[in-house]
Amino acid sequence: MQFNLFEEPTPNDEFKSHEELINHMHQLTDDPLHSTGNRMVIYRGNPNADLMIVGEAPGANEDQQGKPYVGRSGKLLDKILESVGFDSQNGVYVTNTAFRRPSDTNRDPSQEELDYYLPYLKEIIRIVDPKILLLTGRFSMRQIIGEKRGITKVRGTWYTLDDGRLAMPVFHPAYLLRNPSRKPGSPKALMWQDVQEVRRKYDELGGGREFLLPHAR
Ligand code: URA
């Protein structure tokens, strides 16, 4: 399936490097979540990675530590990535669709808020230039591949962005924490299937071996 994330030039298609982009984002004051007083939480991991994970929005732990996916969901995400050989700390790039915690009540980010941050997310994708995007949950799925159907219907499907990049929506780890069964057909079992396919495709596309755990290279 083909989507047009990159059809229009990004408004701030001007950053020369990852460092420049991240520094710029840290100085934003006109973003819709600035008034929350919460900090910019942009990424963790390796800006040279071939696999990028795009989540939803930072929560309390992420706001405290200034890094995405460092709470319970993040720990599970790391385990899932490691189960198929990815180095979850230094071999992947982890980011979100909204870059500040929406509020102290953990509400979902609004469409308007997500749309404000989208050009920045596009710049992150352009500059980091991963071979594969793993979209955890419905917000990144809607923003990046324009998919409005439920995640249960489309998870595990490959989408091709208009720049040729591949993206796969998968369950959000928080959903897996709420559904711990591992029976065949359960969300956890499906996630296991999906990440195995991601690893297979990563190898097929020549993803960097240096980003894998030593035993998985
Ligand atoms: N959930 C997300 O989607 N992102 C985070 O950074 C943390 C939890």
Answer whether residue 131 shows pLDDT above 60.
yes
Closest-lying ligand 1 atom to the alpha carbon of residue 172: 3
In the structure, what pLDDT confidence band is assigned to residue 3 with cuts at 50, 70 and 90?
low
User: Is 102 close to ligand 1, i.e. is its CB under 6 Å away?
Assistant: no
User: Is 207 close to ligand 1, i.e. is its CB under 6 Å away?
Assistant: no
95's enclosing H/E stretch is: strand 93-95
The best mutation among 61, 73, 108 to test binding of ligand 1, ranked by most ligand atoms within 8 Å of the C-beta, falls on: 73
**Weakest-pLDDT range from 3-12, 37-46, 61-70, 192-201:** 3-12
Q: Ligand 1, atom 7: nearest CA belongs to which residue?
A: 69
137 burial type by CB count under 10 A (0-12 exposed, 13-18 middle, 19+ buried): buried
Answer yes or no: are the C-beta atoms of 42 and 95 closer than 8 Å. yes
**The pLDDT value given to residue 14:** 78
Angle between helices 111-128 and 18-26 (to 10 degrees): 160
Q: What is the mean pLDDT of residues 124-143?
A: 97
User: Is 96 close to ligand 1, i.e. is its CB under 6 Å away?
Assistant: yes
**45 alpha carbon – ligand 1 mean position (Å):** 14
CA distance 152 to 76: 19
Answer whether residue 33 shows pLDDT above 70.
yes
User: Is 173 close to ligand 1, i.e. is its CB under 6 Å away?
Assistant: no
**The pLDDT value given to residue 45:** 98
Answer whether residue 8 shows pLDDT above 60.
no
Answer whether residue 142 shows pLDDT above 90.
yes
Q: What is the mean pLDDT of residues 197-208?
A: 98
**The pLDDT value given to residue 4:** 64
**Weakest-pLDDT range from 13-22, 56-65, 152-161:** 13-22
Question: Kind of pairing, strands 51-54 and 132-136?
Answer: parallel
- What's the mean pLDDT when you consider all of the chain? 94
pTM: 0.95
The best mutation among 33, 38, 52, 56 to test binding of ligand 1, ranked by most ligand atoms within 8 Å of the C-beta, falls on: 56
**The pLDDT value given to residue 106:** 83
Domains of the chain, start order: 22-206 (3.40.470.10)
Answer whether residue 162 shows pLDDT above 90.
no
Answer whether residue 2 shows pLDDT above 60.
no
132 burial type by CB count under 10 A (0-12 exposed, 13-18 middle, 19+ buried): buried
More confident residue, 170 or 13: 170
**74 alpha carbon – ligand 1 mean position (Å):** 7
